[in-house]
């Protein structure tokens, strides 16, 4: 007690001394204790006489910590008993504080803010500003985590409510169905009872004549009255109440010796609840009888004379039916749920595996440890200059930042990289902040720069997981004339849809602008509705909006009838029609205040977008946007493509090899600096043998053999081919020169010679080629090959699914192929591609005999058969090896099917490349 008092006095004396000193020096404020530490109570003193608040009645302190960012406070000061009019208040300094900032005021609008500088006191021995920054981020992360949990809980509850509602509706539906079913049964039994008799004297009778449920009766049958006249044995197969429980009475009859030996009998217990007995006679027990007497297909029915029709019976019956329906529904829903979960899991696993292998695939140049970068962690970056333009430089400097160079801390200071233990790479470590979603970096030869390795202008970017900040979405608008499945002519339509879906899946915003053809398949458009009308070039253009495969699509319908011609392509004025569409689309964007980051156009048909945009629209609104142009096929519209190449900010084609093949083309050569080959992917949901309504048995790589066998049989049956286990070669293609028509024809004959089956699905825009194939089809279908060859010369999406699944091989002998999607789809369905080594076919198919190393360098196993040359010998070389492999090593072949199914040819990887390209385009002036 005494000690406390002493301490209190000591404190008082110290404060008095400090107050005096301050007053003498004219300083109006001090704190006690003078050295402020975190997690401590302090007292703040203000001398009213020295303050601008000298005439005010009330004095309050208004402050916060750490540059006004942490725990603000307002506290009233009280007059102390110190001399010279000192006022004070107590204040707690939190543990996170490195600085205290405050002003005084009168509770209203008169302030003492230290001559506008605010008061500021440093807190000693705690966090520094940087550590506090980290702390704040960590707090935000916790907050987000909490919010995410709450959100998940809300969603769970909503889902639960939805489930309860759905369950209620399902129960009602089942109840109704049970009632209808029981009414139907009641009706039939009543009808049977009405018609049933006690006996049919010359054929059968029952003793005793009066009986009821549970009684033992003897049923007599005149064996010579019907088809069992010569039977050695006679059996009764019976049930009750119109076979309600199926077969429930089975007895062997014995000869009675009565009436000349024609009569047989069996003792039967009448089932409880039976109103009517139903039966037939046969010459053996069930499953072992050949001859039946089923009363001319009506069966025999006998009334149960003493049965008391019980109202309760039908009530119970209805309940039983209801329970059965519920049970069936539960099983069905459970199966759907399990399947959906498995689908989602497989998809996520594939995605993760692909990202990992992508990160590892750059290992000879750059990689990180750990491979998955987590926000808030420290990573080591390894770099091998001997594989880049920094080869031989004495030093390598690492320069980088986060969030596509937009991080609040700016780029970090260049770091000199040090030799790594592995002897090839140099390394450095980087602290990744909690608010980073992407790590960006380049390498240079010296601290000040000099020669850079910036990945050919794209910079290196590695995604960071667990960031508390989300990547801001890009807005991408595709202007295109094809879109699967509503207006698909070829692969371009597939790519517009599937690339958009993949980019949207990465949390970006995508819209598509498409002509509103009169031949659109509108059944695949959800929420289709009129959006608005606008005028351009003297024409009214109606705009419709709807969702296709989850994508937002605007349909333009110019009232000049340009797209009321029953087809996508094939009119003499196609270029004029699509040119009009491109211009109208840009006008639509402008008039409606769209401000996209990227406008993406495709092939000659929407090529005009590139120059119309650059010449006419970048200056009026739309200035943020960059134009990206993708070539799916250089064969058509060379002039338009050349012009678009000149104007586009970035251009791509659909595989690296094709990009090299066309590099010398005059349309491309001048623009190689902005031209990139990015391989196409396929949509893993649209093409998914585990969830495909067009094939009989769902399958994954685990049951590929069983799944494909079922599909092959279904395909053979559907097309009237011999149902047999033969090697089946499928071809799915537009029949044009590009696709190697002479090679396809040759391969058909060769496959048949080798005992295989061939299914071709294709249609030719050129009537001469179509006729040629009709002729070939007639020839084949009327030859001895008719049960092994089928040419379907039409466009048929459902059939294409069954062929991808049912074929062993998919043949793609294209003369040139920018990418090719059919070989990718084939692999998704476990079919082995046989391809000509060109364009994207070369990039995606690795020959089992020749390309092991090339495959391995991409982290893949070989996956098919390929050939050079464009003659019969070439195709034979690949086809013969493929068919022989099938005949000679089914085990090996089945493993190959499994391998190709497990390869990821979706957009998981290429969509990232497109995003890099979009970002690179945005960086351009």
Ligand X SMILES: Nc1ncnc2c1ncn2[C@@H]1O[C@H](COP(=O)(O)OP(=O)(O)O[C@H]2O[C@H](CO)[C@@H](O)[C@H](O)[C@H]2O)[C@@H](O)[C@H]1O
Residues found near ligand X in the complex (CB under 6 A): 490-492, 494-495, 632-633, 654, 680, 732-734, 761-763, 795-797, 800, 817-822, 825, 840
Q: Rank residues 236 and 721 by Cβ distance to ligand X and give the closer one.
A: 721
CA 825 to CA 833: how far, in whole Å? 10
Residue nearest to ligand X (CB): 490
Q: Rank residues 800 and 831 by Cβ distance to ligand X and give the closer one.
A: 800
CA 670 to CA 516: how far, in whole Å? 36
* Shortest distance in whole angstroms from residue 646 CB to ligand X: 21
Q: Please state whether beta strands 204-207 and 119-122 pair in parallel, antiparallel, or not at all (unpaired).
A: unpaired
Q: Rank residues 493 and 558 by Cβ distance to ligand X and give the closer one.
A: 493
Is the separation of the CB atoms in 545 and 529 below 8 Å? yes
Q: Rank residues 327 and 797 by Cβ distance to ligand X and give the closer one.
A: 797
Name every residue whose Cβ is closer than 8 Å to that of residue 292 and which is 6 or more positions away in sequence: 227, 228, 280, 281, 282, 283
* Shortest distance in whole angstroms from residue 415 CB to ligand X: 42
CA 516 to CA 483: how far, in whole Å? 11
Furthest CA-CA distance within the chain: 145
Q: Rank residues 425 and 708 by Cβ distance to ligand X and give the closer one.
A: 708
* Shortest distance in whole angstroms from residue 184 CB to ligand X: 43
Give Cα separations from 855 to 127, 361, 896 (angstroms): 53, 12, 14
Q: Rank residues 546 and 833 by Cβ distance to ligand X and give the closer one.
A: 833
Q: Rank residues 491 and 727 by Cβ distance to ligand X and give the closer one.
A: 491
Name every residue whose Cβ is closer than 8 Å to that of residue 649 and which is 6 or more positions away in sequence: 626, 627, 628, 674, 921, 924
The token pair at 268 is 């039967």
* Shortest distance in whole angstroms from residue 792 CB to ligand X: 7
CB atoms closer than 10 angstroms to residue 414: 18
CA 264 to CA 803: how far, in whole Å? 58
* Shortest distance in whole angstroms from residue 611 CB to ligand X: 22
Q: With the CA atoms of 884, 887, 888 and 894 taken in that order, what torsion angle do they form, in degrees rounded to the nearest 10?
A: 100
Q: Rank residues 723 and 771 by Cβ distance to ligand X and give the closer one.
A: 771
Q: What angle do CA 162, 167, 168 make, to 5 degrees?
A: 100
Q: Rank residues 399 and 602 by Cβ distance to ligand X and give the closer one.
A: 602
H or E segment and range at residue 171:
helix 129-195
Sign of the alpha-carbon dihedral angle for 82, 85, 91, 97: negative
Q: Rank residues 59 and 812 by Cβ distance to ligand X and give the closer one.
A: 812
Name every residue whose Cβ is closer than 8 Å to that of residue 881 and which is 6 or more positions away in sequence: 849, 865
Q: Rank residues 237 and 501 by Cβ distance to ligand X and give the closer one.
A: 501
CA 226 to CA 435: how far, in whole Å? 89
* Shortest distance in whole angstroms from residue 600 CB to ligand X: 13
CA 86 to CA 107: how far, in whole Å? 18
Chain center to CA of 755: 40
Q: Rank residues 414 and 820 by Cβ distance to ligand X and give the closer one.
A: 820
* Shortest distance in whole angstroms from residue 797 CB to ligand X: 5
* Shortest distance in whole angstroms from residue 863 CB to ligand X: 17
CB atoms closer than 10 angstroms to residue 710: 18
Q: Rank residues 99 and 837 by Cβ distance to ligand X and give the closer one.
A: 837
CA 649 to CA 918: how far, in whole Å? 10
Closest CA to 729 of 757, 708, 753: 757
* Shortest distance in whole angstroms from residue 678 CB to ligand X: 10
* Shortest distance in whole angstroms from residue 647 CB to ligand X: 21
* Shortest distance in whole angstroms from residue 676 CB to ligand X: 14
* Shortest distance in whole angstroms from residue 495 CB to ligand X: 4
* Shortest distance in whole angstroms from residue 489 CB to ligand X: 7
Q: Specify the 3-state DSSP secondary structure of 651.
A: strand
Chain center to CA of 698: 18
């Amino acid at each position: 007690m005494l000690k406390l008092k002493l301490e209190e006095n000591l404190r008082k004396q110290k404060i008095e001394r400090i107050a005096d000193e301050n007053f003498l020096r004219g300083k109006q404020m001090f704190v006690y204790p003078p050295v402020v530490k975190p997690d401590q109570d302090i007292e703040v003193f203000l001398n009213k006489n020295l303050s601008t608040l000298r005439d005010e009645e009330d004095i309050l302190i208004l402050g916060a910590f750490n540059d006004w960012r942490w725990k603000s406070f307002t506290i009233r000061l009280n007059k102390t008993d110190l001399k010279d009019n000192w006022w004070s208040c107590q204040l707690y300094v939190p543990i996170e504080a490195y600085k205290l900032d405050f002003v005084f005021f009168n509770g209203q609008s008169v302030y003492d803010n230290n001559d506008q500088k605010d008061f500021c006191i440093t807190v000693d021995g705690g966090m520094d500003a940087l550590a506090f920054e980290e702390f704040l981020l960590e707090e935000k992360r916790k907050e987000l985590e909490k919010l995410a949990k709450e959100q998940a809980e809300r969603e769970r509850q909503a889902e639960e409510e939805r489930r309860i509602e759905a369950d209620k509706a399902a129960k009602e539906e089942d109840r109704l169905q049970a009632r209808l079913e029981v009414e139907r049964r009641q009706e039939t039994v009543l009808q049977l009872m009405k018609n049933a008799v006690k006996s049919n004297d010359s054929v059968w009778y029952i003793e005793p004549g009066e009986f009821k449920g549970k009684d033992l009766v003897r049923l007599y049958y005149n064996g010579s009255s019907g088809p069992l006249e010569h039977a050695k044995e006679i059996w009764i197969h019976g049930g009750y109440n119109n076979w309600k429980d199926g077969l429930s009475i089975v007895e062997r009859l014995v000869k009675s010796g009565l009436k000349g030996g024609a009569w047989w009998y069996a003792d039967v217990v009448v089932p409880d609840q039976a109103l009517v007995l139903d039966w037939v006679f046969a010459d053996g027990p069930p499953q072992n009888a050949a001859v039946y007497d089923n009363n001319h297909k009506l069966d025999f029915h006998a009334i149960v004379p003493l049965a008391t029709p019980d109202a309760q019976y039908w009530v119970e019956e209805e309940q039983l039916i209801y329970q059965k329906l519920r049970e069936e529904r539960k099983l069905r829903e459970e199966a759907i749920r399990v399947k959906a979960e498995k689908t989602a899991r497989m998809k996520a696993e594939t995605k993760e595996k692909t990202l990992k292998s992508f990160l590892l695939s750059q290992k000879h140049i750059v990689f990180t440890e750990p491979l998955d970068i987590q926000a808030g962690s420290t990573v080591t970056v390894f770099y091998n200059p001997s594989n880049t333009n920094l080869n031989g430089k004495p030093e390598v400097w690492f320069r980088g930042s986060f969030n596509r160079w937009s991080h609040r801390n700016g780029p970090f200071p260049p770091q000199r990289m040090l030799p790594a233990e592995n002897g090839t790479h140099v390394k450095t470590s980087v602290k990744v902040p909690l608010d980073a979603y992407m790590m960006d970096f380049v390498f240079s030869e010296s601290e000040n720069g000099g020669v850079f390795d910036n990945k050919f202008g794209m910079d290196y970017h590695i995604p960071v997981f667990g960031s508390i900040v989300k990547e801001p979405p890009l807005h991408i608008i595709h202007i295109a004339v094809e879109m699967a499945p509503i207006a698909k002519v070829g692969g371009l339509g597939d790519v517009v849809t599937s690339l958009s879906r993949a980019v949207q899946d990465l949390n970006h915003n995508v819209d598509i602008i498409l002509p509103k053809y009169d031949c659109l398949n509108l059944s695949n458009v959800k929420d289709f509705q009129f959006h608005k009308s606008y005028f351009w070039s003297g024409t009214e253009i109606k705009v419709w909006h709807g969702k296709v495969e989850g994508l937002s699509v605007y349909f333009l319908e110019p009232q000049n009838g340009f797209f009321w011609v029953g087809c996508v392509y094939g009119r003499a004025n196609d270029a004029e029609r699509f040119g009009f569409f491109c211009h109208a689309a840009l006008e639509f964007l402008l008039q409606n205040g769209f401000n996209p980051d990227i406008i993406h156009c495709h092939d000659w048909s929407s090529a005009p977008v590139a120059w119309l945009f650059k010449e006419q629209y970048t200056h009026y609104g739309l200035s943020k946007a960059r134009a990206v142009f993708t070539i799916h096929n250089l064969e058509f519209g060379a002039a338009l493509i050349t012009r678009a190449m000149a104007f586009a900010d970035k251009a791509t084609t659909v595989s690296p090899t094709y990009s090299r093949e066309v590099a010398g083309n005059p349309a491309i050569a001048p623009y190689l600096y902005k031209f990139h080959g990015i391989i196409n992917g396929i949509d893993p949901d649209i093409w998914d043998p585990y969830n495909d309504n067009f094939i009989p048995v769902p399958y994954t790589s685990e049951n590929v053999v069983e799944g494909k066998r079922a599909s092959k049989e279904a395909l053979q049956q559907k097309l009237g081919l011999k149902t047999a286990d033969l090697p089946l070669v499928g071809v799915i293609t537009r029949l044009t020169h590009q696709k190697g028509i002479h090679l396809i024809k040759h391969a058909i004959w060769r496959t048949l010679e080798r005992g295989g089956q061939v299914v071709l699905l294709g249609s030719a825009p050129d009537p001469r080629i179509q006729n040629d194939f009709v002729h070939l089809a007639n020839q084949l279908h009327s030859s001895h090959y008719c049960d092994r060859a089928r040419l379907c010369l039409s466009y048929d999406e459902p059939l294409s699914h069954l062929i991808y699944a049912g074929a062993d091989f998919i043949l793609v002998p294209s003369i040139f192929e920018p990418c090719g999607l059919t070989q990718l789809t084939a692999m998704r369905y476990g079919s082995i591609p046989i391809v000509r080594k060109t364009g994207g076919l070369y990039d995606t198919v690795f020959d089992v005999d020749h390309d092991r190393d090339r495959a391995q360098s991409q982290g893949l196993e070989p996956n098919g058969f390929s050939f050079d040359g464009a003659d019969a010998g070439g195709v034979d070389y690949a086809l013969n090896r493929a068919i022989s492999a099938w005949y000679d090593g089914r085990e090996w072949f089945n493993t190959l099917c499994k391998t190709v199914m497990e390869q990821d040819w979706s957009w998981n990887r290429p969509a990232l490349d497109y995003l890099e390209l979009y970002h690179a385009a945005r960086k351009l002036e």
